[in-house]
Amino acid sequence: MPNVSRKKVLVGLSGGVDSAVSAYLLLKAGYEVEGAFMKNWSSTAGLKVQDCPWLQDRQEALRVAAHLGIKLHTLDFEKQYSKNVMDYFFREYKAGRTPNPDVMCNKEIKFKLLYNFAMKNGFDYLATGHYARSEGTKPRSGRALRPTTGARADYRLLRSRDEFKDQTYFIYNIKPEQLPHILFPIGGMKKTEVKKLAKKIGLPNANRKESMGLCFVGKIRLKDFLKQKVKAKPGKIMLGLRAKVVGLSRTQRSSDLALNPIRYTLLGRHSGLHNYTIGQRQGIAVGGKGGPYYVIRKDLKKNILYVTADANDPGLEVSEVELHSTNWISEEGLRAKGIGLSKKGSGINLALSPITYTLTARYRHQGKLVPCSLEKLGKDQYKVKFKTPQKALASGQSVVLYSGKVCLGGGVIA
């Protein structure tokens, strides 16, 4: 068993139970532990007066640090968060896409700024309370919290033991060279076990409810938050009507579209295209005019929102998507699928190949893993083909790919 008493770990303390238990487990394993609280967003515009999350979160982080007897650093990343996360968030919605601020926050803040702070200030590892696991291709000896010693092969990012809470979808942008310096102490635990342990050791935030708001912003309706930066431009809602085709399979029904063209009728007015995403059912306010309706397309040039009343409308389904802004983590995992590799800089790139390989994909957090194949089209351009058509995928969403339990990486839908 390696001696970890001299190894320093910076653990991101958010004020929540998961990161607090992570810090406790690291201390118990023998690491020298310090905490870091990130101040990322202090604006209360559009928020309830009593809901200023960063102050409440920092207070909880201070209580946890005092309880565990560790030092707490408070790091002000607000300027970078505003530029790299929130400006991106508003820009994408304004362009009609559906961004994921949690993915961008992990990419630009936690595993860039916080990670760099840890590495530049004498820490051997950065630890977070994410439900995920990492390991070298040469198995770690002893407990999962112990680092691999000796020569290291490639590291892999794996889904957590708690499949429902798994957060690899949010952290697929971790760089492969970072993984040997990142610890996920609760990745091998169930959420119920984490909460039980927090109460057992008397953590001051053991009964704190889990935050479900926008990343580091707080509990707020997305529509209300977007009003701050995206000017509403009302327009037409058009309902697509098609004569019902009876007795045809989904494939036949799709091929019949040319012979059965859509007729559009004005259904109502929308409040701005940025307020809607593909497949959305709730919030299409058209009064008592039947329904339910589903968003099927957004025409940004004409400012028209197209909807359908058919939950099985072929227009809601896609069989393939193209990705950009990709990040590939596991060289070993990709090679296991026979995918050729070439290295450029510090990242991993798939070598150009017309062959596709069977994997699984997830295109939203806690969504189902669906069979797919991957094909490289060109520089940083990839095509994911689904074995069966998938519903309600939107430009701007992330698609994350897996080989078994291993998270290979992913990208953003074009």
Residues with catalytic roles: 105, 215
Q: What interhelical angle do 17-29 and 191-200 show, nearest 10?
A: 70
The dihedrals phi and psi of 345, each to the nearest 5 degrees, come to: 65, -135
- Distance CA(33)–CA(325), nearest Å, equals 34
- Distance CA(54)–CA(40), nearest Å, equals 8
The two three-digit tokens of residue 2, written as one number: 């390696």
With CA atoms as reference, report the closest residue to 38 among 94, 79, 86, 87.
79
Strand partners, 412: 324, 398
Strand partners, 403: 406
CB–CB of 77/40 below 8 Å? yes
**392: phi > 0 → left, psi -120 to 50 → alpha, else beta; which?**
left
Report CA dihedral (294, 298, 299, 303) to the nearest 10 degrees: 90
- Distance CA(94)–CA(92), nearest Å, equals 5
Strand partners, 237: 268, 305
Q: What angle do CA 131, 137, 143 make, to 5 degrees?
A: 55
Q: How far apart are the first and last CA of the chain?
A: 47
CB–CB of 26/33 below 8 Å? yes
